Amino acid sequence: MSRSKRLMPNEPLIYERANNVVYARYPNRPDIERWIVGGDPGSIKYNNSGDLIDYSEWLNLCEIANDNVTLQKLMDKLVTTYYVIKDSK
């Protein structure tokens, strides 16, 4: 549902939360898909774009890896795998 559409008068709404995103839907109108009404901005972005994490989370992950040996090793494997796959295309 786009932001320009109006709500249906006298129709109840059900609010649902999934993965930190809040949705609304009409219980008596299954033909109308639920739509996002709020939630965590990063989760909403992920829901809309399919991105694994947003850029600020990536930066935070890299910063934490500087102080965490386990995460640092995993990030090294991730980056190595990325370059192998990237170069094979």
What token pair was written down for 12?
Answer: 């109840």
CB 20 within 8 A of CB 40: yes
Q: Is the pLDDT of residue 1 over 90?
A: no
pLDDT in tens, 10-28: 999 999 998 888 999 999 9
pLDDT in tens, 49-63: 666 777 778 899 999
Share above pLDDT 70 across residues of the chain, in percent, rounded to a whole number? 87
**Which positions ≥6 away from 17 have C-beta within 8 Å?**
23, 39
Instruction: Give the helix ranges, DSSP H, for 1-89.
Output: 41-49, 55-65, 69-88
pLDDT, position 41: 77
CB 15 within 8 A of CB 38: no
Whether the model pTM is above 0.85 = no
